[in-house]
Structure 1
Amino acid sequence: MSSARTLLRVKPAEQLTEESSHTPLRRTLGLVPLVALSVGATLGTGIFVVLADAAPSAGPAVVVSFVLAGLAALCSALSYAELAGSVPMSGSAYSYTYATMGELVAWVCGWCLLLEYGVSVAAVAVGWGGYLNEFLQGTIGMTIPEALSAPPGEGGLVNIPAAVVVLLATGVLLLGVRESARATTVVTLLKIGILVFFVAVAVTGFRSVNMSPFAPMGFAGISAGASAVFFSFIGFDAASTAGEEARDPKRDLPRAIMLSLSIVTALYVLVALAAVGAVGAGALGGSDASLAMVLQTVTRQGWPSVVLAFGAVLAIASVVLTVLYGQTRILVSMSRDGLMPQMFSRVNRRAVPARNTALVGVLVAVLASVVPLSRLAEATSIGTLVAFGLVNIGVLILRRNRPDLNRSFRTPLMPWTPLLGVALCGYLITGLDAVTWLAFALWSAAGLAVYFLYGMRRSKLARQDAEQVRG
């Protein structure tokens, strides 16, 4: 019974809020930078690259796949918004589950988030190389040799561009959060403009024949497509990792989460519809830079695809920056709770967790340079879906156990919205490959080993409980 209580001990929301009020991080981010952070973390490889993976199986109904994945993300976003306004910490879903379901579940959630953020950074970086080559081909007529721009298993030896973009993003993060936020805001506005430009050009080549048959593999194809493109929505929760660097987190975090998801979903549906209508779903699967190929086909000129490729190079680089930021802040929270080594929460004179950032950057750069994109994308999706499901359960528990807690945002249609979120997350998980499940099982087993051998013994909450017993 004692062991069970240890594993299920909850960190009160008031304690989490009190700790965040004494954070060594600097509160410099308003609503616009927070929205840019979430949009910047979301709008990248998913639409620029993963659309090509989902379109062949879903057909023109890939547009519906985006809507289905967006609905799953919306239910989770509403739960995130309520918890972000109630427990404004940097730990995102990790902190929320610590306040609702206890330490072991919080650890599992945090471990899933490390998979989500770390692997998604690597996946985004891998997608960057394809558009970099597209841009170089259109401007100087040269590309990086495949041996140095593709991972083993995809015709190459090592993906140097992927490693380089991760290390560049790491360098920007080491400059400080204010500088990183400014760069993110500028680049986010630029990539929204690039995608609007794509839609405006691609729609001129729209042909109704390309939309038939609409769903060649039926709902099974739409479902598989939704599982694949769900990767595209990962990142809308990035604002919740900035809970200790937001000027007014209770007000701005819920707004940033909902605004960013609305912007991203609208853009995804428009881009998917324009792309499929212009060249057909089958043609999208044959290119590493599918959107650039669409513009080349529609205009029969090189400059539109070069413009898009340039925008994609910047856009995907900004995703690397923002998602890498999110992972380092989750590690800060886990370290401060004693579940990770203390080095991860130490900050320098710029209020940056420098050792944390540098170590994560190097590890992700190595991962990005040797692992294929498809495996990275699916591994990211399963970690994210588990974390989202836990957040939906967490908001239900907190509503029941702490109805008196001050909430700046309340999830509508309770309890149906989070219950639907849990169901949709579970449904999308079933669409992932058995290999992905095996990799996730191994990752989870490794995480539990780390917790029982290190985290459980060094937990700050455990030390506080022990002191109370001795007192």
Structure 2
Amino acid sequence: MKNVRLQRSLTVFPLVIFGLAYMAPTTVFSTYGVVAQITEGMVPAAYIVALIGMLFTAYSYGKMVKAFPVSGSAYTYTQKAINSHVGFMVGWVILLDYLFLPMINGLLLGIYLHAYFPSVPFSVWLIGYIVLITIVNVIGVKIATKVNLLLISCQFFIILIFFILSIKGLVNGMGSGTLFMSSPFINGDIPFSYVLTGASVLCLSFLGFDSVTTFSEETIDPRKNLPKAIFLVALIGGALFILISYFLHLVYPQYHAFKDADSASLEIAKYIGGKLFESIFLGGYITGALASGLSSHASVSRLLYGMGRDGVLPKKVFGQIHAKYRTPAVNILIVSVFMLTAFFVDLVTASSFINFGALVAFTFVNLSVISHYFIREKLRKKFDFLLYLMIPLIGAGFSIWLWANLDKKALILGFSWFAIGFLILLSMTKLFSQSPPELSIDQIETSEMNI
């Protein structure tokens, strides 16, 4: 019986939709108040710095997906370009990112809806959310793309209303009373170190541009379409973050006057649009949780499939594709069960795991470009030194700098998870005397001709 494989059906547009949905454009509102106080009003400048750093890493993802157009993301790239043992550890660590993000979205959605409808228990919202995204993702990426398009459209609608209300208010003298102000970008009175500190927080808003790499085996012409999608997701997301944060500052420049920095955006929403827009704005948060949860849930199921197919995880469980829907249905169900940890894990703990895993992934994708192209392939002519050494080296350095600035709790939790994975690797390889199972790229590319 012929093995069932993932079906190629995705082009650049749905990939960008998945990436943007994973990032959730409305996430800019979540951190605005805190970062506004850290940077003393220079949030747009901090987003520019963060975007520049992320574009270096997006470049490296594009290069690696051309070399290895298979499902697995940073795990696959590190395994093939650097070392199978290192690849296993990277895959293990980034499971923190992929596993906890869908759970956090469910947790947030449950918290917001329970607060808005206190008579309905938190558990009802969480379980209903899990059931919904599980069904959509099992049915297939085509259905998920349509749902994501609807959800991402709702978020853009909220953002559009925000812009209209902001411009109307500014024209009528609200806030700064002007549409043009340079201080959010350039301010000699504010130390640049404040901007860098803000950027270290805001970079995590970009989580999602890399998620599209996990759809490599479901993408038409992945070597061409995936690099475009990766760069577009980072660029479009970054541009939105900069523009939105700029208008937030214009309409409410008194960043020290927030009653609660964590919910500053809700204060601004009520300030510019009254109670009605505050309610609509809250709906945008819920939409963002649904969209991001749907995409992140789909991504981690494919990461598990990549590791299961390689034999790093039990293949009979993780390396299977549903015969009818052509999706990793078992993995989708496993992730759904894991999401029930939202009943026991708080938001701060889960966020710490994500920060650690994401930055490790970014670092090693950049290093993989150097290892594969500059060292192994010996591409060192003309501009190769810039393309395959300097650019990824800058990306790696930026990621390491952010990683080093994580709080102690994130580092402790992250290294604890790393230690567990290292012990598993020792057992699997019999103290490194054997290599972890590796995927044959040639075999996969040949089999794809029959899909």
2:40 counterpart SS class: helix
Write the distance in 1 (CA, Å) between the matches of 2:73 and 2:218. 13
Once the two structures are superposed, the pairs formed by residues 79-94 of structure 1 within 5 Å of their partners are 79-94=60-75
The 2-side partners of 1:94 and 1:216 are apart by: 43
Matched, 1:294 2:271: no
Residues 169 and 321, structure 1, Cα contact 8 Å, conserved in 2:
yes
What is the CA–CA distance in structure 1 between the aligned matches of 2:191 and 2:155, rounded to whole Å?
33
Q: Deviations over 1:136-178 (max 9, x none)?
A: 4xxxxx4468xx55xxxxxxxxx76455434422221112222
- 1:338-359 CA distances to partner (integer Å, 9 max, x unpaired)? 1111101112221121221111
CA distance in 1: counterparts of 2:257 and 2:221, whole angstroms: 47
**Within 2, Cα distance between the matches of 1:184 and 1:55?**
30
**Aligned pair in 2 of structure 1 residues 73, 447: CA closer, same or farther (>3 Å)?**
same
Query: 3-state SS of the aligned residue for 2:372?
Result: helix
> Is residue 369 of structure 1 aligned with residue 343 of structure 2?
yes
Relative to structure 1, is the Cα distance of residues 331 and 378 closer, same or farther in structure 2, using a 3 angstrom cutoff? Answer: same
Tell me the SS of whatever aligns to 2:42: helix
* Aligned match for 2:216, one of 220, 243, 246: 243
What is the TM-score of this pair, normalised by structure 1? Answer: 0.81
- Paired residues of 2:85 and 2:436 also in contact (CA < 8 A): no
Identity of aligned residues (%): 25
Whole-Å separation in 2 of the counterparts to 1:144 and 1:226: 39
CA drift of 1:120 comes to 2.2
- Out of 327, 335, 355, the position equivalent to 1:352 is 327
**Paired position in structure 1 for 2:175:** 207
Q: Return the offset for 1:437.
A: 0.7
Task: Quote the residue 1:26 is aligned against.
Answer: 7
Q: Is the 8 A contact 2:352 2:413 kept in 1?
A: no
CA deviation digits over 1:186-222, x for unaligned, max 9? 2223322322322332343563499799699844433
Letter in 1 for 2:66: G
Shift of 1:48: 3.6
Matching residue of 2:358? 384
For 2:35, the equivalent position in structure 1 comes to: 54
User: Which amino acid is 2:437 matched to?
Assistant: K
Report 1:375-454 matches (<5 A): 375-403=349-377, 413-454=387-428
What does residue range 37-436 of structure 1 map to in structure 2 within 5 Å? 37-43=18-24, 46-129=27-110, 131-132=112-113, 136=116, 142-143=117-118, 149=122, 161-162=125-126, 164-203=128-167, 204-205=169-170, 207-208=175-176, 218-279=191-252, 280-283=254-257, 286=260, 289-299=263-273, 301-342=274-315, 343-349=317-323, 350-366=325-341, 368-403=342-377, 413-436=387-410
- Rounded Cα–Cα distance in structure 1 between residues aligned with 2:75 and 2:19: 17
The amino acid of 1:245's aligned partner reads E
Q: After superposing the two structures, state which structure 1 stretch, 200-209 or 289-298, moved more.
A: 200-209
| CA distance in 1: counterparts of 2:187 and 2:128, whole angstroms | 40
Cα distance, 1:223 vs. partner? 3.0
The answer to whether the Cα contact below 8 Å between 2:140 and 2:327 also exists between their aligned partners in 1 is yes
The 3-state SS of whatever aligns with 2:220 is: coil
- With normalisation by structure 2, the TM-score equals 0.84
Aligned pairs, number: 419
Indicate conservation of the 8 Å contact 1:101/1:394, yes or no.
yes
Task: Report SS of the residue matched to 2:218.
Answer: coil
The letter of the residue matching 1:354 is A
Give, as a single letter, the amino acid of the residue that structure 1 aligns with 2:164.
A
> Does the aligned pair in 2 maintain the 1:393–1:422 contact within 8 Å?
yes
Q: Which amino acid aligns with 1:460?
A: P
Given that 1:59 and 1:214 are in contact with CA atoms closer than 8 Å, whether structure 2 keeps it comes out as no
Q: Relative to structure 1, is the Cα distance of residues 462 and 37 closer, same or farther in structure 2, using a 3 angstrom cutoff?
A: closer
Alpha-carbon spacing, 1:443–1:128, altered in 2? closer, same or farther (3 Å): same
> What's the counterpart of residue 139 of structure 1?
none
Q: Secondary structure at the match of 2:210?
A: helix
Question: Residues of 2 paired with 1:417 and 1:282: CA distance?
Answer: 38
CA RMSD of aligned residues (A): 3.0
2:331 alignment partner AA: N
Aligned partner of residue 8 in structure 2, secondary structure: coil
**What CA distance in whole angstroms lies between the structure 1 residues aligned with 2:130 and 2:258?**
27
Other-structure match for 1:466: none
Give secondary structure in 2 for the equivalent of 1:460: coil
Task: Give the secondary structure class of the aligned counterpart of 2:41.
Answer: helix
| Alignment partners' CA distance in 1, 2:290 and 2:188 | 33
Give the CA deviation at 1:335: 0.8
Which amino acid letter does the alignment assign opposite residue 195 of structure 2? I
Change in Cα spacing, 1:57 to 1:338, as seen in structure 2 (3 Å) is same
Residues 29-82 of structure 1 show CA distances to partners (whole Å, capped at 9, x for unaligned) of 111111111111112563242334433322312222222222221110000011
Whether the aligned pair in 2 keeps the contact of 1:58 and 1:216 (CA below 8 Å) is: no
Relative to 1, partners in 2 of residues 1:54 and 1:372: Cα closer, same or farther, differing over 3 Å?
Answer: farther
Summarize the Cα distance change of 1:197–1:85 in structure 2 as closer, same or farther, 3 Å threshold.
farther
Contact map agreement 2:373 2:388 (CA 8 A) in 1: no
The answer for the alignment partner of 1:460 in structure 2 is 437
Q: Tell me which amino acid in the other structure corresponds to 2:5.
A: P
Distance 1:284 1:89 in 2: 47
SS at match of 1:415: helix
Partner amino acid, structure 2, of 1:415: L
Query: What residue number does 2:449 align with?
Result: none
**Equivalent in the alignment of 1:155:** none
